[in-house]
Structures are given as C-alpha cells and as structure tokens.
Chain A
Amino acid sequence: MSEAGQARVVLVGNPNTGKSTLFNALTGLRQRVGNYPGVTVARKSGTCELADGQKVELVDLPGLYSLAAVSPDERVVVDALLGRVKNERVPDVVVVVCDATNLLRNLFLAAQIAELGLPMVIAVNQMDAAKTRGIEIDGPLLSYRLNGVPVVLLSAWKGEGITEVRRAVATGLRQKSTFPTVTWPDAIAKAVATVALAAERDTHQPVPGALAQRLLFDTAPTIAEAIGWTAEAREVPIRQAREQVRSSGLNPPAAEPMVHYARLREILEGVVRGVSRETATVAVDAILLHRIFGPLCFAAIMLGLFWSVFALAKLPMAWIQQGVDLTKAFAASYLVSTPMLQSLVADGVVGGVGAFLTFLPQILILFLFVGILEDSGYMARAAFIMDRLFSWCGLNGKSFVPLLSGFACAIPGLLSTRTIEDPKARLATAFTVPFMSCSARFPIYALMCAAFIGPRYGAFWESVAMVGMHVVGLAVAVPTAFILTRFILKVRPAPFVLELPRYQMPKPRDVIWRMWQNASEFVSKAGTLIFAITFVVWALTYFPRDPAVAERVRAESPQMNAEQVEARVQAAYVEQSWMGRFGKSVQPVFDPCGFDWKLTVGVLASFPAREVIVSTLGITYSLGEGSDANSEDLRSAMREAKWTEGSRVDTPIFTLPTVLALMIFFALCSQCGSTVATLAQEAGSWRWAAASFVYMTALAWIFATAVYQIGSKIL
C-alpha cells in the first residue's frame, strides 16, 4: 500500500474513541466500527490526503488503554509504535484519538507515547457527545499547555473537524515531538538505565529508554517477550531495578500512572470545563442489568435473535433456492447435448455453490443483530451478565461475542477472540468456537429433519431436533473448555477488565456496512473455496465413465422402462467412480455410525467445507439429479435407500438412529478448512489447529457411534 517516501501516520487511542470512524472519514475507505472494545482486531491502512496536498499512509490500529500491553491486539499497537513490525519503520506522526467525554484518561496513553519521542497530534473526538453532556474543551489552551502539540476538536462521525485534522497532521509532520515529557524521580531514571543496559547486553540490540520503562513498569512480560529477553535472563536485573525503586519509597508499576496522572491533571486545569451530566445510560442499566430483569431481557434478546435468524430468513432463502433451481434447470436444458458439461454445470457448480448461497440471509440477519447489539453498547453488558456463567469453565464474559458470532460462522468468531486479554481464556474460546452450530451445518439438519423426522414424528419433534442440534455443540464446548483450562493449558491467567460504554442509538450506516462486509466475505468464499471443492467432488464422482458399465446394466435389466434403466446406469457409474471406490473402502470406519458407502462419500467430501454434504448426497443418492435441501427427489431417494449387503441387507439405511447419528456427526466434526487455518493463525501454531481437528473429529465419531449403537438397541 505504502509507496516509498510516503509518510506513515498511525491512529492510536483508547477503545471506542472513534479511530476507525476517523480513519474512514480521512481515507474514504470503509472500516468496521462499533461501540464495543476490540471491533478493530488488526491494523488496516489506507491513503489519506493532507491539507497541503501531500499523500500519506494512514494506519488504523486496535484500541488500548496503556502501553503496558497484555492482549495480542494491544501488542499490535505497541509493535507498530516501536517500529517492530517487519519492513516498517516507526510512524512519522501518531494521531492520538481521544474521547472528549473522558479527556484525562485518554491523555494518559498520549503521555506514554510522548515518552517514545514520537511526533503527535491530539484529536479530541466525540465533541458532539461532550456537548450534550455539558462538557466544554479549550483546544488552543490544551495545545499551548502541551508545548504546541497540534490539538483538534472534532466529531468524526458527523464529519466535523476532518479538514482541521488534515491540517494538523501536516503540521505534526513538520514538527519534532514537543509533548512535554516527564522528569522521572531519580530512582526511576536510574533503574530505567540499569534495565536498558542489562537488556541491551542480553538481547544484543539497542533498548531505548521508553522501552526500558516498559520493562521496568510492566507486570505482564509481553514487551520483554517481544524483544526476546528470556525469563531467566531478565529475572534478576528487573528484580534488582525494582528493588532500587522500592527502596526510594516508590512502587514501580504504581509510580508510572501516579506521575502521569498528577501532571495531566495540572495540564488539564481550566482546559476541561463543565461537569458531565448523568445520561440515560444509568436509567437503562438499572433495567438491563437488574438482577432479575437483566437476565430476562438477555434471554429475550437472544431468543428474538435466533427466532429472527430462522423465521425471517425463510422467505429470502426460498427465493434464493428458486433462483438456484431455475438456473440449474436452465443450465441443464441448455447443455442437454453435452451430458458431461451438463452434469458439471448443473450438479456440480450451480448445485454446490447454490446450496451454500441459500444460507446468506441467515448470515445477514445474525450480523445485523450483532452489529446493532455492539453499536448500541449492549454487547459489553452481555459480557458483564454472562461472565459468571463462563468463568467457571475458564472462559470469560468476553468469550460471549466470539461464541455468538460462531453461530453464524466460526471465522469472524475466531477473529474476535483477539480482544480477550487472558491467553488461557482466549485459546479456550478459540478452541470452542468451532463447536457452535454455524449456518453451514444447517442444510444437513434441515434435510434430515424434513425428510425423516418431520414426516414420521411431526413438526414438534422436528423443531426439537433442530434446537437440540444447536445446543449439542454448546453442551460439548463447555466441558471441553473446562478440561482445557484446568488441566491442559499452562498459561498464566490475565485480568478481566471491561469498560461499559454509554448507550447510543445504533447508526444504520455502520450496522449495514458491517453486515455487508460479512456477507461479501461469505459470498467470496462461495465463489472460491466451495466452488473448487464442488468441482473436485463432482469430478471424482463422475469419472471414470467406462461405456461398458452402461452396457452391462442395460443388459441386466431388459424389462425396465427407459427412465428406470437410466437411473440404474447413473447409480452404477457413481458406484464405480473414484469417489465410490474410495467411499467403499473407507466405509468400514463409519459402519459403526450406521453410514453406508454413499454417506461415507458425503462425509469425506465434506471435510474441506461441510456445506457440500447436501449436494454430495444429491450426487450419490439422487443418481446424478443434483439436489438441494428442499428437493423432494432427494428426500424420496433417501427414504427408499436400502443396505445392499451385510447383515442389514434390504433394510432401510435411514432409520432414526442413522439420521440422528449423522446429525450429531455434523454437529461435532471439524469439517471446515478455513476454520482450521484461521485457528492455526489465531492460536499461533498448527499444533492447536491439528489438536482441534483430531479432537472434534474423534468426538464426532464417538458420539455418532454411541447414538447409532444405543439407538439401534432401543428402537
């Protein structure tokens, strides 16, 4: 993105101050915003034109309260400020975005950044909110007190003050850092020097004073680990330096904020006027966090959310389905002269990708709700309410958002685990997110329920099965997290400190943008990964095509009509295809679950992406008819399917135990390539991804076997 010679400007600030909103306003790009800490989980850069026409690279970073980084998203910021990112130098200007309603606390971070010696611009955002709360800020006075550091008052969301920011950044680029730095008490200054020396000696790299301050002050070893100073090497020098500070009557971690806050109070004297008036937030919280109404409201919101995802999505899903069917029919009739191409386009491409796209409305609705809940400020309250229920199994309130997103798709869920400071809870959350019943599992549940449970046991049991499948993953996830955090993960716990932002009206622009982004990711997945898998599965099921097979079948069944013969020919082709042969040889593994070779083929083909199961079953059972979850052909073909060999010969394959075993298998199995890859990336090692894959798959097999075996005995 950045061209050589372009200056680098970074946006830094507390969570929720409006950095991403300002980024969007300055670059014209659209970056996700939300009234929930951690909405920006990675850095994002764009080009911004300054007042003097100069073009600079602008980087949006996650929010943080202090350079004493604990969580990975905080470390991203510290690394960026220290120029520790590969191929990147330190930023030329740091724009510290502050919330006008809480200037003192926001300037604490600015004071820490000043210690790094970086040129700075103070952008005091949300001036509109400050005004309604009766707070006034004297920008020029603040700039004067800060030795001429440019100060801009703005409302990024309203677009007020953006030009001033462009001007201030241009000024900032021409200035050196003027933010008045702290004169540390002697004992601290000496200790910092000692630590710097020891760290330089051990790590063979220059350790500037600001970095040494972090090593001295921080209780979490994040920075020490980042510069590669090992625990053994740093233990003694750091302890000795802290002793030095203590013997002078100061406490190292407390000294830093005490010194900064005392000085900032003086600087802000007369800059901030007016007292903050109580807002509606207090009154709303009295209900939403009430000890009886709170959980009730929470339950009602969650019920409403899931009801909407299923009920409201029905109609648009039916439309997409019709569109897919029409396309398929059109493609089939258009390509009737070339059977192979017809099969590829109709069964493979349109069928497979179409089955996937049908779930787009559900994804949209879920993310619409997540967006509204985040932007209104409720999500932090949900974390507050849920923390108790999560903490006993080692997770925490912040696990709630990843797990909820996991019900749409595991990928955004995994990405949002970065906001969890506690590495233990973060890993455990990432490990459990794939168990949430994502929308890709929905097609197989829908097919099984509509084909077998509904017709035989009625609509009530159909919905029970549906709900049950969504709960089963959660039921397995909780003990998994418990075992993981208690017995396996040996990492130190980190604090659960969560700010409760004030409530605000969700802004339609932000919410819709958020929804749209998730949707486009989903659609591009359909266009690439799903397309590729469907193609491969189709090819493996279509080839080889030896004409001798067709002749043999025709010879064997002379008395049948043409249609029946054609069906048997297709079946014979599938059976001797590469996929058919492979499925047959692997079938013994899945025999205890009650799966025949066709189901085995479906299960195997679904490992890269589970949503292909329905179209694969369509290929294997419907004899090349290409099917989807609503297709009556596929349902009746499956109802009529019988075992062709073994002790169960001529009995139906799809008995209740098999149906349940299949659904349980899909509820628990790790069948999503992108999830495994994302997990590896988030957990920082392939070992975790591999462990998750093996664990989920083994668990799926065990549960499916148990269900089938016990079910067959009882029924």
Chain B
Amino acid sequence: MVSLSKLLPGQFGKVVSLNAERAVDQRLMALGLLPGMVVKVVRRAPFGDPIALSFGGIEICLRDIEARDILIDIAADCPVPRPRKKL
C-alpha cells in the first residue's frame, strides 16, 4: 500500500482509503474516486505539481499534498516506469 503521490506517471492501482475528513476527498468521492476504484497517474504537470489522474473515464488534476492521504494498492500488472530524471 502506498500513497497516491508516490505513484509514477503511468502507474495505476486500486484505491484503499481516502482521508474522509477533508473537503478535497469529499469532492473526489463525489467524482467517483471511491475505495476499490482503479486510478491511474497520467502525468505530472511540467513544473512537478499537480498530478493528473484518470479514473472512471475522466481526467482530473490534484495537488501532490492532496494526493498524499489517498492510499493505493498498486496493481500487480502495473508497469514500473523509469523514475523521472531531475531536471
């Protein structure tokens, strides 16, 4: 189980839990990001933050600190992309 912010672009996994005390997470859940849902990190913004996620056929962006509290079970068949080089 890892935090969503630790996923590299291209990686995906199942949502285990969100921090339901925060308004962000309530918004995400309204959008369908619920435990059990598969979520993929599509990319990071060019300057490193926020990250673009795709789930349930939509793409949304979310800041790194807000992704930190979302725990993910990385899928077994998930590709392991090369970590992005520091510019």
Residue positions of A touching B, CB distance < 8 A: 65-66, 68, 70, 101-102, 104-105, 108-109, 217-220, 251-254, 256-258, 261, 276, 281, 285, 289-292, 294-295, 384-385, 387-389, 391, 397, 494-500
Q: Which of B27, B42, B50 contacts A65 (CB 8 A)?
A: B27
Interface residues of B in 48-78 (CB under 8 A from A): 48-50, 52, 56-63, 66
Beyond the given pairs A285-B42, A289-B43, 8 more chain A to chain B contacts, judged by CB atoms under 8 angstroms and listed by A's residue number, are: A251-B20, A258-B34, A295-B47, A387-B45, A387-B61, A391-B63, A496-B50, A499-B31
Q: Is the interface of A mostly helix, strand, loop or mixed?
A: helix
Chain B contacts for A68, CB-based, 8 A? 23, 26-27, 30
Asked whether B58 lies within 8 Å of A102 as measured between CB atoms, the reply is: yes
What is the CB-to-nearest-CB distance from B2 to chain A, in angstroms, rounded to a whole number?
Answer: 20
Closest 8 CB pairs of A and B: A495-B24, A66-B30, A388-B47, A257-B29, A253-B20, A291-B46, A500-B59, A294-B46
Taking the closest CB of chain A, its distance from the CB of B72, in whole angstroms, is 16
Within the assembled complex, what's the spacing in Å between the Cα atoms of A102 and B45? Answer: 24
Residue of B23, B25, B43 near A494 (CB, 8 A) is: B23
The complex places the Cα of A258 from the Cα of B66 at a distance, in Å, of: 20
Q: Are A253 and B57 in contact, CB atoms less than 8 angstroms apart?
A: no
Expressed in whole angstroms, the Cα–Cα distance for A218 and B30 within the complex equals: 11
Residues from chain B with a CB closer than 8 A to the CB of A391 are: 49, 63
Residue among B20, B21, B25 having the largest count of chain A Cβ atoms under 10 Å: B20
Report B-chain residues with C-beta under 8 Å of the C-beta of A385.
Answer: 45-47
Residues of B close to A500: CB separation below 8 A: 52, 59-61
> A70-B27, A218-B26, A496-B66 are contacts. A384–B21 as well, Cβ < 8 Å?
no
Does the CB pair A219–B30 fall under 8 Å? Answer: no
Nearest-CB distance from A11 to chain B (Å)? 19
Quick one: which of B22, B61, B62, B63 has the most chain A CB within 10 A?
B61
Contacts of B35 in A (CB 8 A): 254, 258
**Bound CA–CA A641/B46 (angstroms):** 52
In the complex the two chains form, is A498's CB within 8 Å of B61's CB? Answer: yes
B31 adjacent to A388 (CB under 8 Å): no
Expressed in whole angstroms, the minimum distance between the Cβ of B45 and any Cβ of chain A is: 5
Given the known inter-chain contacts A66-B27, A66-B30, A104-B56, please indicate yes or no for A252 contacting B20, CB distance below 8 A.
yes
Closest to B42 in A: A285
A257–B29 alpha-carbon span in the complex (Å): 6
User: In the complex, A289→B54 CA distance in Å?
Assistant: 15
- Report the Cα distance A515→B35, complex, angstroms: 44
A170 to B33, CA, bound (A): 36
CA distance A158 to B28 in the complex (A): 32
Complex: chain B residue closest to A499, CB-CB: B60
Q: Which residues of A contact B45 (CB under 8 A)?
A: 289, 294, 384-385, 387-388
On whether the beta carbons of B46 and A289 are closer than 8 Å, the reply is yes
- Nearest chain A CB to B31 CB, angstrom units: 6
- Give 23 CB contacts A-B under 8 Å: A65-B30, A66-B27, A66-B30, A219-B25, A252-B20, A253-B25, A253-B26, A254-B18, A257-B26, A257-B30, A258-B35, A261-B34, A290-B46, A291-B44, A291-B87, A385-B46, A387-B45, A388-B50, A397-B50, A496-B61, A497-B24, A499-B60, A500-B59
* Chain A residues with CB below 8 A from B87, complex form: 291
Q: What A residues does B32 contact at CB under 8 A?
A: 104-105, 108, 257, 261
The one of A70, A217, A496, A499 that contacts B59, using a Cβ cutoff of 8 Å = A499
- Taking CB atoms, residues of chain B closer than 8 Å to A494 are 23-24
Is A70 touching B61 in the complex (CB atoms < 8 A)? no
Contact B21 A497 (CB under 8 A): no
Q: Are B61 and A384 in contact (CB under 8 A)?
A: yes
Q: CA–CA, A384 to B24, complex, Å?
A: 17
Query: Bound state CA distance, A281 and B27, in angstroms?
Result: 24
Specify which chain A residues have a CB less than 8 angstroms from the CB of B43 in the assembled complex. 285, 289
B34 touches A497 (CB 8 A): no
